[in-house]
Each structure stands twice: as C-alpha cells, then as structure tokens.
Amino acid sequence: MPSAIPANQEIDALHERIAALEFECADLRKRAEVPPDPRGGPSRAERAADAALLRSEAKYRAVLAALPDLIFRLDRQGIFLEYHSPSAGDLYFPEEQFVGKPVGEVMPPEFAQRVVELVQQTLASDEQQIYAYEMTIDGALRHFEARFAVSGPDEVVAVVRNVTKRTRAEAELKAKENLLGAIVDSLPLWLAVKDREGRMLMVNRRMAEECGVSERDFVGLATMELPHSTPQEKARIVELDRRVIATGEPIDDPAVSVTLPGGEVRTVHSIITPLRDAQQNIAGVVTISEDVSGRIRAEQELREGAERYRRLVEESPQGVLVVQDGTIVFVNRSEAEIFGYSAPQEMIGRRRNDHIAPHELKRLMGYLEAREAGEQAPSHYAFQGLKKDGTPIWVETVAQVTTWEGKPATQSLHIDITERKRAEQALRDSQERFTWIAEHSPVMLYRYDSRRGAIDRLEFSYISPHAVKLTGFTPEEIVGDPTLLTGRYHPEDQADWRERLEAVTREGKDWDQVLRYRRKDGEYIWIHTQTWRNYLPDGSVEGAGYWTDVTERKRAEAALAASEALLRGFLDNTPVRVYVKDREGKYLMINRHYEVSTGFRREQVLGKTARDLFPAETAAVYLAHDREVRRQRKALQF
C-alpha cells in the first residue's frame, strides 16, 4: 500500500509527472515528423513513432484516471476547453453546461473573475498559482484547493482537490490545541518544556507572569539565562534536568528555590519528567512546579505552635492553690495567671474569698466546712471566681484536705474553664443554628431508630419540614406512620429496596440508593436516599439520613443513554469499518460492519491488538498505518 504524503507535495508531484508526459508526447510527435516513404504508406519510423505516442498517451490517461482530483484545461479568456473528474459529485454543473463556455457564464461572478485573474497571472509569470476557495454543492459546503500551471502557449491546466476533510480536520485540531492551551494556561502551577540543551520550548501563562518574562521571550531562553534567578539556583535546575535526561527517570524535588522579580525567593515543588519524541528518544524535559512557599511557612508556624504548647504543658497550666485558715499560702505560676496576677508572690497572704464571686460564697463555704469536719462534700465542681481586676471567670476545681507546715489546709487544683463555658454557649447557639438550617434545608433530613429484629420498621424521631414539598406529607404524619415513606416505593423498586435493606443489615454498611417514590398526590418521583447507621450492642439501630429529589437528573441520564444508543445505532449501520484504538493499538470499539467484514465478533476484538487478530504481515501494515497517523497527527487515507 503506498504511503500517504501531504496534499501539496502530491499535487506538485502530479504537475511534474504531467509535464514529463507532455514533454514525452511532444518529443514523440516531433520525431514522428519524418519524410514519407517513397514506396507509399507510413514508413517504419512513422509506425514506431505512432506506437510510442500511443503508449505515452495511454500512460498519461492512466495517470489521470488514478487521480482523485478535478482537472480543467482553460484558455487565456477562461474558457473551459476540457476537464477530468473522478466523481461527478464534485462538479458545480454537468459537463454540457460548462465545457466550451467562459467561466463567467457558469460560475458566480466573484469566483469567475478570480479564476480569470489566476489564469492570466499563470501565463504571464509562468509560475504556479494557488487558490483556496469553498462552494456549496448539493446543499453541502465543500472546501477546494486549485493549482494553476501553464500547459500550452495560451492555456493552463487547473488541478482542483477537494480538501473538505483536511480543512475540517485542521479546524478540529486547532480547536483541540486551543483547548489544551486554555487548560495549560489556567493551571495554578508552573509548566515549562525544555529541549536537551535546556532551552525553553514553551511555558504557561502562570509561570511567565510570575517570573516577569513574556511567554514569547521565554521561548529559546536557556536555564542559565533566566533573568532573576541566582547562579546557584540556575545550576541546581540544570543539574536536575541533566539527571532526568541521563537516566530517563522522573525526579520529584519538593524544595527548589527560585528568585522572582524584586528579589522575592519562592520555594517550589518540582516534578521533572523526560520529554520523548515519536521514537521514544528523550528530546528534553517537562517541569511542573507548585509554589509551596506558603505551605512551608504554615508548617513552620505549626511547628512553632507545637513547641509553645509543649512548653505550656511542661510548665503545668493547671493552677495549684493551698489555703490555710482562710489565707493563701501557696500558688504556682499558672494559678497566678488564672486570677490575673503577674507573679505568684502577689497572691501569697491574700484571703481566699477575695477570688470568689459573692453569690458563690455560701455554697463554697458549706463545702469547706463539711470537708474540714470530715463530712461528705463534693470534691470536683465548678464555680465562678473573680480575677485581680474583678473580672468574673469560670474555674473548675478538684479540692482535698491536706497538711501545710504541720497544720490542716485545703489544696485545690484549678483550671480556667471560661473559654469552655463560652464554647458550650457557642455549641448551644450552633445547635440552634443547625435546627434552623434543618428547618429550611432543600432536602428532607431525618433521624430514626428501630427495635431489635425489626430494622425495616423504623420509628422516626425527626423529619424536616421539606418533607411536605418532597412527599406531600407533613413531618407529623410521617412520624406517626413511617410507612408513608417506606411503603410507597415503586413496585418495580420494592425487590431492590428489600434486597438492599437485607444487605446493609447483614453487612453493617450505610445505605445509599436511588429509587422511585409515590408522593401523596400519586406522582412518582426519583429520590436519592442516603442513611448513616449506628448499630447498638442490643441489636437496635439508630441513624440519620436525607432524601433529595433527583428526578431531573434521572431524566437527563435517560436522555444521555438514548443519545448514546442512537450513536451506537448510527455506527453499527454505517457501511464502512469503524474502530477506535488506544495508543498501544488495543481496540476500544468496533462497529457491526467491522464484525461482518472481518469475521471477528466484538468480544473477540476488544482489548486486543492487530498482532492478536491478523497474520503478521497484515498486522504489520495496520500498525504502520497507526504509527503514521500518530506521527502526522491528522487523518490519513490508505
């Protein structure tokens, strides 16, 4: 099978072949002009020349017949003298409507004028002229490329090729390139592609902007020519690139320093991988870098915070207080801090009651008197105290009787729980906000429990108000009769629901299911239900979950499935082989015509390569075609 070559080169080769054949024919005609044989009839030289001429013309016509192009012969005034067409479908008019007529009589005025101009330019310059144009033929827009060349003293030949497929393929390729470029430029990362010598082939917009160099100026720039980086930084980058090129293995370096305009130093996490050409030779490197400077700073701050916390623990944040005869005789630094003193010595000698809120005195004095009398009294409790400046605080205490310098005393361990109290209040506030959110949520939330051995008979303890909009029933109705939810699934979904119920019960998993539910008004809707369960030791279950209406999503999925089925039907009824392969040559899809024409069933082909299905010689041809398509990155005809 001949190899495919670019369309322009093929047309140039065609012109050269036609010119050679015309020269050969002219030479034969000249040689055929010999004196007649005096004995009468054609001479031997005449007969030989005629035979050679016939053979040359036959070759000329064979070449024309094999060409997929339209060929027209026009004179200087643009009159069609002759034409060749492999397919009448590419002609704008039938033959009888244009042969022998000027182009202006049969073609649109602007097109005809341009053709006449090109004919005259070709004759005047004796150089090939090229004209790309488009026409609507039989209701379809088609793209053509015409090449004009001198074919005689006062005439030209125009070779016209239908390039519609190529034009569309180029447009699709351009669109894909634009999409890839948009994706690359939208990445929050740096992307650089370099050749083996370290020169930039491309960078993305993010890298160009942050490095202060335009994308255009970056191209061709070597690593050692980067304008802001230090020599040490450049040398490090060059070393990493060379290692990747030498070993062919990617490098993941979590900390590469880069200096930006203005002297700012960033730390980037770089992944450098080899860039390979079509023959898998290493042609350069691709570097993707993420700025991790902020993360490193955050990690450093986290370490410092951990160190502060360690010191706080080592210095005992729990306050220690010893009181004897109502007077403070010992406190540690944490205790002093709890009550607003700068040093423990400031509290020594003060009265204990100075740091208790007045409304707490009677209760705490009662505990103390009972404790000193040996009677039962709470030892762990919370009270409201006063700081040095009179600010009220909450303190959690564990108190016990002790001895201080040989005399009875009370020792207390204190923790400032003011923030915890505030957090508890915040939690109560949060719970109130959660209740508000649940009451206004666009999904139906619920809580439930079930008795042992009766997991399908749920008892709902809470149903959110969205139940009315979703099901038509009020929360009170559902709480009173749980079957208003569990007993109204579509008959076709009941078995699946029951099977799923048994499975989650048996395996102890959470529940996630989509099924149809009949509302109070009788309308069926698709609902997505998800439930989280907690299995208690006695075998009962408690849990929570939600229902949400996914009817529109299911309709969209059905429409998509129908569209895919339509596409499959179209492909399976296309009278040509259609298949899709991955980069390794494995078949991903074939149509019905492929099965019929090759004798292979779909399950025999999918996941296989040509080597697995065809004789070695045939497989080699198919694989060569695949490589050529990947190399040229465009559609080819074989």
For the segment 251-279, the average pLDDT, to the nearest whole number, is: 89
Between the CA atoms of 372, 373, 377 and 382, what dihedral angle is there, to the nearest 10 degrees?
Answer: -30
Are the CB atoms for 490 and 526 separated by under 8 Å? Answer: no
Q: Please name the fold of domain 315-412.
A: Beta-Lactamase (3.30.450)
Quick one: average pLDDT of 340-351?
A: 92
- 539-578 confidence digits (pLDDT tens): 777 888 899 999 999 898 888 888 888 888 888 888 888 8
Structure tokens, 305 = 């915070």
Task: Give pLDDT, residue 27.
Answer: 53
**What residue ranges do the domains of the chain occupy?**
7-167, 187-296, 315-412, 441-555, 574-632
Per-residue model confidence as pLDDT tens digits over 464-511: 999 999 999 999 999 999 889 888 999 999 888 888 877 777 776 778
| Alpha carbon 170 to its chain's center | 24
Count Cα neighbours of 124 within 13 Å in the Cβ-side half-sphere. 6
Whether the CB-CB separation of 85 and 112 falls below 8 Å is answered with no
Q: Which fold has domain 7-167?
A: Beta-Lactamase (3.30.450)
Sheet holding 251-259, edge to edge: 200-203, 190-195, 282-291, 265-276, 251-259
**Residue 533 half-sphere exposure, CB side, CA atoms within 13 Å?**
21
- Residues 373-431: pLDDT tens digits? 888 889 899 999 999 999 999 999 999 888 988 999 998 889 999 998 888 888 888 88
The CATH code that applies to domain 574-632 is: 3.30.450.20
Torsion angle of the four alpha carbons 172, 176, 177, 183, in this order, in degrees rounded to the nearest 10: 160
Q: Which residues contact 398 (CB under 8 A, 6 or more apart)?
A: 379, 380, 412, 413
Q: How far apart are CA 386 and CA 427, in angstroms?
A: 25
Pick one of 2.60.40.3080, 3.30.450.20, 3.20.20.100, 3.30.565.10 as the CATH number of 441-555. Answer: 3.30.450.20
Distance, CA of 207 to chain centre:
20
Task: List Cβ neighbours of 224 (8 Å cut-off, separation of 6 or more).
Answer: 198, 234, 238
Same fold, 7-167 and 187-296: yes
Regarding predicted confidence, which is higher, 313 or 113? 113
Question: What type of residue is 552?
Answer: E
**Which fold is adopted by the domain 187-296?**
Beta-Lactamase (3.30.450)
User: Tokens standing for 266?
Assistant: 């960033």
pTM (2 decimals)?
0.35
Dihedral of CA atoms 398, 401, 405, 407 in degrees, nearest 10, equals 150
In 3D, which of 93, 68, 90 has the Cα closest to residue 14?
A: 68
* Sign of the Cα pseudo-torsion (467, 469, 470, 474, in order): positive
